[in-house]
Amino acid sequence: MRKSYAIFAFCLMTLAGCAVQTQKECSTKNSCAIKEIECVDVDYDKYFTENTLRFDFQHYGNSESENYAFDGMKHEGIWAGSHKSLINTFGYGEQLFRIVDTEEQKVIYQNGYCTLFNEWQTTAEAQKTTRSYPESLIFPCPKRNFTVEIYARNKSTKVFEKKYSYTANINDYNIKPYKAEYSTEEIHIGGSIEHSLDIALLPDGFTAEEKEKFMEACNAWRNALFNYEPFTSEKQRINIRAVWAPSKESGISIPGKGEWKETLLDCRFYTFGSERYQMTSEFQKVRDVAAAAPYEAIFILTNSDKYGGGGIYNYYGLGSAGKTGRTGEVYVHEFGHSLMGLGDEYVEVGNTVSAFYPADKEPWEANLTTFVNFDKKKWKGMIAEGTPLPTPVNDSLIKLPDTQWPIGAYEGGGYLEKGIYRPWPKCMMNQLYNFCPVCQAAIKEYLDYICK
Ligand SMILES: [Zn+2]
């Protein structure tokens, strides 16, 4: 879930940052230190060990500015990602990071992501105060000295600007060694670690006596995911492992009702004042637990019967483990956000302005368009000739079997009623329906990248 929490004051960014294009055209040049996006294969064995390195920092600022401050680095277990797909050029995310080899000044790793901090920036609170969120990046451990570069999208232009860099000595004795603290259990193994999407399921609010309850929730999560295409057909490229990490108290904090629980990951409802938005801001703690398993994606299952959750791209997804309402569908919806940043295709009635989707910019999400760059960047190629754009939707269309729904551009999505378009009348990303054909194709394409 990512909502437009408050009326947003557009930021007046005056920083003269370095504009970087991260879309699929790969020959972009700019005037900054990084000369171009490297689309050539990076030789994994030349630059990286078999393991993971973790870079922790604070992401802080207010509605108009964001800054970064170093916390520390840690060695972690085996690198679960591809050894071939090292430069992510999908252009997804509000943030981007690069690892630059010091000796050759070459970009050897790149990935996009989103953060809770960036959502907080759109709240009314962020217009009045400064706040810090703990954040963390993981990447294959470099063999040589390197620089971490972090980029953020300019709030007006939506173009990435370089905001921070940290040059590291790989032999720095301050880099903490890896220490496995928690046990893991296999929930589903489809393929090898290198060529599969590895998902870590983490518990919060389960006490030592509630392990069985958590494992049942993990099995339910797996069954929900594999109930929906394209995941049903992709089982052989997906691994799911549960990390067992008990909390002191049973249950989850509900601050708006005065209920507090001491839990390992400090998950809670009422994030940004929204009752059903259940998240944790303790992302480094989340990484501490996830490190027990080889992983590329994290999903937290909380010990609560209360409906709610959240999902942020390349950060984590979260859902209540209690079987209430449409729990399984919520898991899959939030995983769509956290795996690859699929946008919400639903509308909030009366909402006309969104900080996330200005009318004159093409959204980076694969399943939303403003028609600004529809032909090149979005699903124009999947639309049958003669389909009107925008595509009208009415009751008689909805009553037809979905196999007869044309792929088109239906107005309404990204919380807005007007000016933004979704590919199908219904989708997992709005009404918890099946994923629309465009979302399915985008997920498959992303899995192709991750599992290469
Ligand atoms: Zn969709």
Give yes or no: residues 132 and 268 share one domain.
Answer: no
The DSSP annotation for 280-336 comes to -S-HHHHHHHHTTS--SEEEEEES--S--EEEETTTEEEEE-S--TTHHHHHHHHHH
| Residue whose C-alpha is closest to residue 205's, from 316, 132, 289 | 289
- C-alpha span between 176 and 36 (Å, rounded): 33
Q: How far is the CA of 188 from the centre of ligand 1 (A)?
A: 26
| Residue whose C-alpha is closest to residue 291's, from 44, 48, 52 | 52
Angle at 249 between CA 245 and CA 254, to 5 degrees: 110
Q: Return the number of other C-beta atoms located less than 10 Å from residue 395's C-beta.
A: 6
For residue 30, is it within any domain? yes
Q: How far is the CA of 100 from the centre of ligand 1 (A)?
A: 35
Above 50 in pLDDT, residue 32? no
For residue 2, is it within any domain? no
pLDDT band at 40 (very low <50, low <70, confident <90, very high): low
Q: Say how far residue 333 (Cα) sits from the centre of its chain.
A: 12
Position 1 scores a pLDDT of 52
Domain that residue 157 falls in: 19-168
Q: What is the mean pLDDT of residues 57-65?
A: 97
pLDDT band at 364 (very low <50, low <70, confident <90, very high): very high
Position 433 scores a pLDDT of 95
Give yes or no: residues 158 and 257 share one domain.
Answer: no
- Residue 125: strand, helix, or coil: helix
pLDDT band at 354 (very low <50, low <70, confident <90, very high): confident
- Percentage of residues in the chain having pLDDT higher than 90: 86
Q: Say how far residue 449 (Cα) sits from the centre of its chain.
A: 15
Helix axes 437-450, 327-340, angle to 10 degrees: 60
The CATH number of residue 334's host domain is 3.40.390.10
The domain boundary residue, chosen from 285, 314, 340: 340
Above 90 in pLDDT, residue 312? yes
- C-alpha span between 283 and 63 (Å, rounded): 20
For residue 304, is it within any domain? yes
- C-alpha span between 314 and 319 (Å, rounded): 16
Q: How far is the CA of 438 from the centre of ligand 1 (A)?
A: 6
Q: Return the number of other C-beta atoms located less than 10 Å from residue 331's C-beta.
A: 29
The domain boundary residue, chosen from 323, 340, 357: 340
Give yes or no: residues 149 and 211 share one domain.
Answer: no
Number of H helices and E strands in the chain, helices first, is: 9, 16
Q: What is the mean pLDDT of residues 45-49?
A: 98
Q: How far is the CA of 278 from the centre of ligand 1 (A)?
A: 23
Tell me the torsion sign for CA atoms 309, 269, 274, 10.
Answer: negative
Q: Return the number of other C-beta atoms located less than 10 Å from residue 71's C-beta.
A: 14
Q: How far is the CA of 4 from the centre of ligand 1 (A)?
A: 19
How does the average pLDDT of the chain come out, rounded?
91
Compute the half-sphere exposure of residue 78: CA atoms within 13 Å on the CB side of its CA.
9
- Strands 297-302, 48-61: pairing is unpaired
For residue 176, is it within any domain? no
- C-alpha span between 422 and 343 (Å, rounded): 9
For residue 325, is it within any domain? yes
Position 17 scores a pLDDT of 35
The CATH number of residue 156's host domain is 2.60.40.3250
Q: How far is the CA of 111 from the centre of ligand 1 (A)?
A: 23
Position 2 scores a pLDDT of 55
Position 39 scores a pLDDT of 57
Position 326 scores a pLDDT of 82
Q: Return the number of other C-beta atoms located less than 10 Å from residue 261's C-beta.
A: 20
Number of domains observed in the structure of the chain: 2
Give yes or no: residues 28 and 64 share one domain.
Answer: yes
Give yes or no: residues 156 and 190 share one domain.
Answer: no
Position 142 scores a pLDDT of 98
Q: How far is the CA of 435 from the centre of ligand 1 (A)?
A: 5
Position 50 scores a pLDDT of 98
**Element containing residue 263 per DSSP (H, E):** none
Position 189 scores a pLDDT of 98
Give yes or no: residues 159 and 60 share one domain.
Answer: yes
Q: What is the mean pLDDT of residues 15-26?
A: 38
Above 60 in pLDDT, residue 35? no
Q: How far is the CA of 231 from the centre of ligand 1 (A)?
A: 14
Give yes or no: residues 188 and 164 share one domain.
Answer: no
Q: How far is the CA of 135 from the centre of ligand 1 (A)?
A: 29
pTM, 2 dp: 0.92
Q: What is the mean pLDDT of residues 408-424?
A: 96
Q: How far is the CA of 418 from the centre of ligand 1 (A)?
A: 17
357 DSSP 8-state letter: -
Position 327 scores a pLDDT of 86
| Residue whose C-alpha is closest to residue 118's, from 187, 65, 180 | 65
Give yes or no: residues 162 and 224 share one domain.
Answer: no
Q: What is the mean pLDDT of residues 308-320?
A: 97
Q: What is the mean pLDDT of residues 262-282?
A: 97
For residue 310, is it within any domain? yes
Give yes or no: residues 115 and 47 share one domain.
Answer: yes
Give yes or no: residues 203 and 240 share one domain.
Answer: yes
Above 60 in pLDDT, residue 21? no
For residue 109, is it within any domain? yes
Q: How far is the CA of 230 from the centre of ligand 1 (A)?
A: 12
Above 70 in pLDDT, residue 212? yes
- C-alpha span between 5 and 320 (Å, rounded): 21
pLDDT band at 23 (very low <50, low <70, confident <90, very high): very low
Q: How far is the CA of 301 from the centre of ligand 1 (A)?
A: 24
Give yes or no: residues 138 and 114 share one domain.
Answer: yes
Which range among 135-149, 315-329, 342-356 has the greatest average pLDDT? 135-149
Position 6 scores a pLDDT of 34
Q: How far is the CA of 292 from the centre of ligand 1 (A)?
A: 33
Q: How far is the CA of 342 from the centre of ligand 1 (A)?
A: 8
Give yes or no: residues 188 and 126 share one domain.
Answer: no
The domain boundary residue, chosen from 340, 362, 393: 340
For residue 348, is it within any domain? no
